[in-house]
Structure 1
């Protein structure tokens, strides 16, 4: 199975995890997905009043320079670790 196929399967698996991950893990999942699918963070950082969007943007921005393939693999590994 190709990396992209594994990534797509991990996306599907992420919707059926045995329990909801904690917020920090959810941010990591989001950031890895965005890095893998869109590359480095772009656009303006959300304002102070939008806490959720700002946290998501910051988590994504921390992965700047990570290759799409590397982010995909980290995403797959993270989802796999949460399935147990």
Structure 2
């Protein structure tokens, strides 16, 4: 399923560009899985205390530490399909 990752990422980007919406939890999970799948473990510095959005994204990604990149990509595709199903699409 990881082979559909690039297509899923493109579909999710279009979904949000076209004013699609999902829960904040789903958004953070998509972000974290994307970063883990493309970059691997989070090695960046934690954002400052007043950067609430950056901190939430950093923490979501950091929770994926140790997840194999292919596993993260597969999980991303599964969640992307769940989100896209709300508008009748599938990867």
* Length-normalised TM-score, structure 2: 0.83
Instruction: Report what 1:7 is aligned to.
Output: 5
Paired positions, count:
82
Kindly report the root-mean-square deviation, in angstroms, between the aligned alpha carbons of the 2 structures.
1.5
Instruction: Report what 2:89 is aligned to.
Output: none
Unaligned runs of 5+ in 2: 86-91
Change in CA separation of 1:16 and 1:43 when aligned onto 2, cut-off 3 Å: closer
Matches within 5 A, 1:19-34: 19-34=20-35
Query: What secondary structure is seen at the aligned counterpart in 1 of 2:37?
Result: helix
Unaligned runs of 5+ in 1: none
* Length-normalised TM-score, structure 1: 0.90
Q: Is 1:47 the counterpart of 2:48 in the alignment?
A: yes
After TM superposition, where is structure 1 displaced by more than 2 Å over at least 4 residues in a row? 15-19
Moved more, 35-44 or 18-27: 18-27
Instruction: Report what 1:62 is aligned to.
Output: 63
